[in-house]
Amino acid sequence: MSDTKNLTLLGAGKTDYPTEYSAKVLETFKNKFPENNYEVELNCPEFTHICPKTKQPDFAKIKIKYCPDELLVESKSLKLYLFGFRQHGSFHEDCVNTIAKDLFNLMKPKWIEVLGLFMPRGGISINPRAYIKKDNK
């Protein structure tokens, strides 16, 4: 039997897209194999956020990898969470670290890595990577 009682977004008829960033939209479901060490990779090729200084949009690919423990993130809730950054003013490094911390706090995975592959601005691309593991304090 699947534990999907707490998934309110998956299969919902109408999707309300967030206009502001909030980690509260994220949902989880139980990992059926918590004893296994395996990797989950999630890719968001169309991530956008707003530069806090220029108010111009920045574009990136966000790659999330983690080794689940008891919980996994539900992908539709992740999509809506990432969509919430669209009007959020943050620097590239802030976005990547915020995503890593929010997901780590939500799922408590064995480890998580979030990589942001941002499009160049002024001839320079910035690709921050955040890594958190359970024994990091």
Residues known to be catalytic: 51, 58
Cα–Cα distance for residue pair 44/82, rounded to 1 Å: 8
Is the Cβ–Cβ distance between 63 and 115 less than 8 Å? yes
- Locate the DSSP E strands across the chain: 28-30, 40-50, 57-67, 71-73, 111-118, 129-133
List of residues 6+ apart from 26 with CB closer than 8 A? 73, 74, 77, 78, 81, 102, 103, 106
